[in-house]
Structure 1
């Protein structure tokens, strides 16, 4: 049970959140709407990450699920597993993301190592970052980094409030 009661939210900000979510509020939204201004900024940032970046959906969802595992955020896994499956991830890939040392293709292994470094250690080794430069443009590296950072924020919010 969440540490704070749900709120439905009213007004223009709650309407924008509902619009992005297809008309429904999720438990995360009901927590955020205790502070409408925070919910508005969050909605804008996560809306961009989820729908307006060049990063592929399979990569984005793999990163999100990996963060859910690392930060012990089951709500995040449950919310994103269907998205990951729609993006083409199957049972084998999902199982690997739960492992301590996932065995994935070379590019995805580097992405997951980057996610792990940012999440666990905060510091990314130069060799790992340099290896990613061969896989991504500068804009994509910024997008990947922002995705990892944002979903660490999401998972930590969820875990702290027991959502």
Structure 2
């Protein structure tokens, strides 16, 4: 159960913001029901993650691979539950999703995915990325894609930290949001 109640639909003044959340996410998900305590933060969050997920050029399978890895490393089950079906739709295999905890010993990943996972692991676990890990990852991506990959990893680390600090759970009653 969430540590603070979800925002009340009656307390949100900006109906256009709610409409944008629904249009871009399909519904007011638990995360957004919490974020709506601050309409300005919700607006910025929605813009950032819409850019990351829908407007960038990073391939969907790579984007979802790092989102799933961040969720695993950070112990964020809500994030993983929300993104597993998206990851599979974007082209990850069941084996790739299931083997993330031990990706170094799995045959499910090619050189590009291994470079991305090493980069994601270092960004998430220790913030600083070793030069050799960056150099390996750089062999597979342009500067624009490196930036998009980096922002995706950083952004989803923020997502998992908000989810886990506030105990946001998909089983919670969202307080009237539909």
Q: If the TM-score is normalised by the length of the shorter chain, which range does it land in?
A: over 0.9
Distance in 2, matches of 1:87 and 1:93, equals: 12
Larger RCO, structure (CA 8 Å, separation 6 or more): 2
1:58 corresponds to 2:61: yes
Structure 1: which 4+ aligned runs deviate by more than 6 Å? none
Q: Alignment RMSD, CA only?
A: 1.2
Contact (CA 8 Å) 1:102, 1:109: kept in 2 or not? no
Q: Which of 9, 19, 26 matches 2:23?
A: 19
Q: Which position in structure 2 is the counterpart of 1:93?
A: 96
CA gap of 1:117–1:102, structure 2 versus 1, over 3 A, is farther
Q: TM-score, normalised by structure 1?
A: 0.95
Superposition deviation, residue 56 in structure 1 = 0.6
Superposition deviation, residue 105 in structure 1 = 1.1
Q: TM-score, normalised by structure 2?
A: 0.87
* CA deviation map 1:119-138 (0-9, x unaligned): 00100001111112210000
Gaps of 5+ in 2: 169-178
Flag the structure with larger Rg.
Answer: 2
Distance in 1, matches of 2:119 and 2:37, equals: 33
* CA deviation map 1:88-126 (0-9, x unaligned): 112211111133645321110110000000000100001
* CA deviation map 1:15-42 (0-9, x unaligned): 22122112x1000000100011000000
The residue correspondences of 1:52-131 to structure 2 (distance < 5 A) are 52-99=55-102, 101=104, 103=106, 104-131=109-136
* Length, aligned pairs only: 162
1:135 corresponds to 2:143: no
